């Protein structure tokens, strides 16, 4: 399965992506903008574990690598929440630093958004959170049609600092 855009594509992770994954993911600037479940440094063993885990996914898929020229340069995906929040997907992305500022993250996240709404009919809302020090990601979400819904003051502890987190969301079109 491949979701093709003009700047990038989304596809499933596969064996052989490990070296590229380590090359782009083992970057403090990326780690600093993600949850602590994303390790730093990002090692080859961690990459192998991630790709093996993704190899067991079944359709419809929720985790993709972002590619340019079929090289894995980042990731995007979502988790469908549970219980009363089962109609909500929490989404995110990261992109290798050499690819920042080219519109790739915006296109990749738009591809993910459209796929999620088309392939998961029970999802009515997609959410994403951003740390206060990452205005570039806030702009990506706004370009993807996400609206700022909340500034959660002093909600996150990252890299030794207590910081604000911003909540963005987009709801399924009702038309």
- Residue 55: enclosing H or E segment and its boundaries? helix 44-55
List the end-to-end C-alpha distance of the chain, in Å, as a whole number. 27
pLDDT at 175 over 70: no
User: 91-148 pLDDT, tens per residue?
Assistant: 999 999 999 999 999 999 999 999 999 999 999 999 999 999 999 999 999 999 999 9
Average pLDDT, the chain: 96
Q: Which two tokens stand for residue 26?
A: 């083992």
Q: Where does residue 22 rank: exposed (0-12), middle (13-18), buried (19+ CB within 10 A)?
A: middle
Q: Is 157 helix (H, G, I), strand (E, B) or coil?
A: strand
């Amino acid at each position: 399965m491949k979701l093709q855009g003009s700047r990038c594509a989304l596809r499933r992770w596969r064996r052989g992506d490990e070296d590229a994954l380590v090359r782009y993911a083992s970057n403090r600037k990326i780690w600093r903008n993600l949850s602590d479940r994303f390790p730093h440094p990002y090692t080859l063993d961690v990459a192998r574990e991630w790709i093996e885990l993704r190899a067991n996914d079944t359709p419809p898929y929720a985790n993709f690598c972002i590619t340019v020229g079929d090289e894995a340069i980042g990731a995007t995906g979502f988790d469908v929440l549970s219980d009363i929040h089962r109609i909500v997907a929490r989404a995110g992305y990261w992109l290798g630093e050499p690819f920042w500022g080219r519109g790739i993250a915006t296109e990749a996240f738009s591809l993910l958004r459209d796929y999620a709404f088309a392939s998961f009919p029970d999802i009515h809302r997609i959410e994403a959170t951003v740390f206060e020090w990452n205005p570039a990601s806030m702009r990506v979400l706004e370009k993807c049609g996400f609206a700022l819904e909340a500034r959660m003051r002093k909600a996150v502890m990252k890299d030794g600092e207590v910081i604000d987190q911003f909540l963005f969301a987009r709801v399924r079109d009702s038309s």
